[in-house]
Structure 1
Amino acid sequence: MYTPTTNSTVLPDNSPVYPEYVGFICAGVAVIFYGSNFVPVKKYETGDGMFFQWILCSAILASGLVLQAIRPSTFYPICLLGGAIWATGNICVVPIIKTIGLGLGLCIWATTNLIAGWATGKFGLFDTKKAVLANTAMNYAGVVIAGSSAFIYIFVKSEVSAQSTELCNSTVSSSKLDFHPLGDKAPWVQSLPKERNILMQLPAAEDVTFIDTLSPKGKFITGVVLSLVSGLCYGNLFSPSLHVQYAIPGSSTDSLDYVFATFCGIYIASTVYFLIYCLIMKNKPRIYSEAILPGIVSGVMWSIATGFLNLKLEKDVIFKVTGLSADLDYN
C-alpha cells in the first residue's frame, strides 16, 4: 500500500471526449449487469453465503488488478473504507435471496441504494460537495417516485410458504440422519408424496441455517430489513472516493481512478468476514464447490458494471437523466 504523492499516475483530465451515445451504451451495460449479476448463482446452493461472498469479492479484486494494469492510478487508502462498506452490505445478499427471493430483494436494495446515493450528493454528506440541481422539481419528483416504488415492493408476497418452512424444521429435528434426508429411500419422504417436490428443494440437514428455520413472516421481515441495510451500504460505495476528489488538492476528478482502491477494500473486508466466520465455525466452514464458478462470473459482471458506470465519458449523460448540473464532477 502506498500513499498519494504529487507524482500521480492518473489519467489527465483532458482525456478524449467520446460521442454522447457511447455514454448511453455504458450506462445500459451497467444497468443490465447490475440487475443480473446474481442470476448465475440463483440455482446453486450457497448455504449461509459466507463462502460465496468471498469468492465473488475475490473475482472483484482480480478484475480490479486487470484495470490497474491497464490504467495505473494513485492509491488513496481512504477508498478502502468504501469497499468495506459495500462488502458489509454484500454479506446480506444470500440471506436476502433465501428469505424473500432475488427479485424482491434486488428491487428493495436497489431503490435504497439509489436514494442513499442521491442524498449523499444532494446534501453533501461525508464532507463531499453538494450537487447543483439543474431541475429541482424533476430531481425531487424522481426521488419521490423511487421511494414510493420501494414502499410498494415491501407488500409483494414472499414465495416462501409456511409448508416449506415446517418441512424444513422437520428436517432439522429429524433423528433419522443416518441417511440423506432428501434421498428417495427415506421413509418419511415416501410418506409425503404431495410434498415431494418441496422436499427435493430443501437443503440437506447439515446445510440448514438459522434462516431456513424462520417462519414465513420472520423470513419476510428479515429479508426486507437486510435489503434496506444492504442498499444503504451499496449507496455509499464511492462516498470516500468523492471525499478524496473534493477534499484533496490535485486529486483526479475521474471516478475510474478510484475503482481499484475500492475493489481492494471490498476484498480485504470480505476476507476478514470470512476469517471471522471460520473461527466461529471452528475451522469447519461450509464450502460449496458448485458456487465457485457462478460466484466468479457474478463478481466479474458486477466489476464490469461498476467500471462502465464510473467512466468519465458518461457523466454528461447521467447529468441529463438526473437533473444534476453538468459543471459538477459528481459520481
Structure 2
Amino acid sequence: MQQDVITGIGSAIASAIAYGSTYVPVRWFEAGDGLFFQWMMCIGQMLFGVIVLNIAGWPPVFPFAMMSGVFFASGNALTVYIMDGIGMAVGSLLWNTITCVVGWAVTRFGLLGNPQQLPHNNVMNIIGVVIVCIGGFIFGTITHRPIQVRPVPCAILLTAFVGCLYGNMLTPINYLVMHSAETGNPSNISSYFFSFCLGSVLTSTIIFMIYSLTKLNRPFMNPELTLPSLISGIIYAVATYCFFLANQHLDQVGWITRFFHTFP
C-alpha cells in the first residue's frame, strides 16, 4: 500500500493523545487488582473494532493476526503485578523502553519472518535507540516502595517479558501485510484490526475465567467501573488503530516506534 507521510504523522499525533487519555475515565474508581478492568477494556476495544470492520468492508478473521491481540491482552494482564512491585511510573517506562528496542530490532534486523527495513540514516537511528535505553536505565534505578511489597527481581523479569509482548504486538500483522503479494491477503492494515481486537477479547476472557477460578468464583468486580472501563477500551482502540496506521505510513524502524513509547 502506498505510504502517505501526512496521514502517518497525523495518526501518530492522534495516537499519542489517545494513549495519554486512556485511563482518564477510570481514575476516580477503585480498580482493585485490575483484571476486571482489563477484561472490560478489551470488550470496549471490540466495540470499536466492529466499526473498523465495517469501514474496511467486512474482511474475514485472520487467525494469525489474532496473535497480536493475544500479545496485548497477556501483557496488559501482567502490568498490574508489575506496578505493585516497582511502581507505575518506573514499570511503565521500563516496559516501554523494552517495547521500543524489541519493536526496533524486529524490523531493523528482519526477525521473526519480517523483511528487514533499513533506516535512511543508520547512525542517527542507533543513537536514538541508545538514548531511549539510557533513559530507561536511569529511571530503572529509582527506588520505589510499594504498598504491597513483591519481590522486585520478579517484577523486573515480568517487565522484560511484557516489553517483549508489546514489542511484538504488531509483528504478526506486519508479517501478513509484508507478504500480502505472495499470499493474496489484504495489504491494508485496517483489514486486520478486528482480528487484533478479537484475539484481545478472547485472551482477556480466558484470563478472567482463570482468575475467577483462583478466587473461588469471587473476583473483584466494581459495578461503577464497568462503563468507564468500556470507554477506556474504546479510547485505547482508537489509539492502537492510529498506531497501526502510523506504522503503515511511516518507517517502523525509524523515529515512529520511539515516538509512541516515549510520550505516552
TM-score bucket (shorter structure): 0.7 to 0.9
> Are residues 240 and 319 of structure 1, via their aligned partners in 2, closer, same or farther at CA, if it must alter by over 3 Å?
closer
Alignment of 1:30-45 (within 5 A): 30-45=15-30
Q: Residue 129 of structure 2 is aligned with which of 143, 153, 160?
A: 143
Query: Which is helix-richer, 1 or 2?
Result: 2
TM-superposed CA distance for 1:98, in Å, is: 3.3
Aligned to 1:68: 53
Deviations 1:189-219 (A, max 9, x none): xxxxxxxxxxxxxxxxxxxxxxx3x26xx3x
Aligned to 2:63, the other structure's residue is in SS state: coil
1:320 and 1:222 map into 2 onto residues whose CA distance is 32
Aligned to 1:234: 166
TM-superposed CA distance for 1:282, in Å, is: 2.1
Contact 1:49 1:94 in 2 (8 A): yes
Please list every run of 5 or more consecutive structure 2 residues that lacks an aligned counterpart in the other structure. 258-264
TM-superposed CA distance for 1:66, in Å, is: 1.3
Query: Which residue identity does 1:294 align to in structure 2?
Result: P
1:322 and 1:297 map into 2 onto residues whose CA distance is 26
Contact 1:24 1:317 in 2 (8 A): no
Q: Residue 27 of structure 1 is aligned with which of 9, 12, 29?
A: 12
Are residues 1:100 and 2:86 paired? yes
> Are residues 38 and 92 of structure 1, via their aligned partners in 2, closer, same or farther at CA, if it must alter by over 3 Å?
farther
1:234 and 1:313 map into 2 onto residues whose CA distance is 14
Contact 1:108 1:154 in 2 (8 A): yes
Alignment of 1:41-56 (within 5 A): 41-56=26-41
Q: Which has the higher contact order (CA 8 A, sep 6+)?
A: 2
> Are residues 148 and 313 of structure 1, via their aligned partners in 2, closer, same or farther at CA, if it must alter by over 3 Å?
closer
> Are residues 80 and 23 of structure 1, via their aligned partners in 2, closer, same or farther at CA, if it must alter by over 3 Å?
closer
Query: Which residue identity does 1:232 align to in structure 2?
Result: C
The number of residues matched between the two structures is 254
Aligned to 2:228: 294
Q: What RMSD in Å do the two structures reach over aligned CA positions? A: 2.5
Q: Which stretch of the first structure deviates more once superposed, 239-248 or 138-147?
A: 239-248
Query: Which residue identity does 1:127 align to in structure 2?
Result: G
2:123 and 2:27 map into 1 onto residues whose CA distance is 39
Are residues 1:59 and 2:44 paired? yes
TM-superposed CA distance for 1:159, in Å, is: 5.4
Aligned to 1:124: 110
Query: Which residue identity does 2:99 align to in structure 1?
Result: N
Q: Residue 309 of structure 1 is aligned with which of 237, 243, 246?
A: 243
1:313 and 1:84 map into 2 onto residues whose CA distance is 19
Q: Which stretch of the first structure deviates more once superposed, 55-64 or 34-43?
A: 34-43
| Larger of the two Rg values belongs to structure | 1
Aligned to 1:281: 215
2:166 and 2:78 map into 1 onto residues whose CA distance is 11
Aligned to 1:91, the other structure's residue is in SS state: helix
Contact 2:189 2:248 in 1 (8 A): no
> Are residues 309 and 297 of structure 1, via their aligned partners in 2, closer, same or farther at CA, if it must alter by over 3 Å?
same
TM-score, length-scaled by structure 1: 0.69
> Are residues 159 and 22 of structure 1, via their aligned partners in 2, closer, same or farther at CA, if it must alter by over 3 Å?
farther
TM-superposed CA distance for 1:312, in Å, is: 6.5
1:108 and 1:283 map into 2 onto residues whose CA distance is 34
Identity of aligned residues (%): 29
Q: Which stretch of the first structure deviates more once superposed, 34-43 or 148-157?
A: 34-43
> Are residues 225 and 291 of structure 1, via their aligned partners in 2, closer, same or farther at CA, if it must alter by over 3 Å?
farther
1:39 and 1:100 map into 2 onto residues whose CA distance is 22
Aligned to 2:201: 267
Aligned to 1:246: 178
Aligned to 1:81: 67
TM-superposed CA distance for 1:42, in Å, is: 3.9
TM-superposed CA distance for 1:229, in Å, is: 2.0
TM-superposed CA distance for 1:274, in Å, is: 0.9
Query: Which residue identity does 2:70 align to in structure 1?
Result: A
Query: Which residue identity does 1:239 align to in structure 2?
Result: T
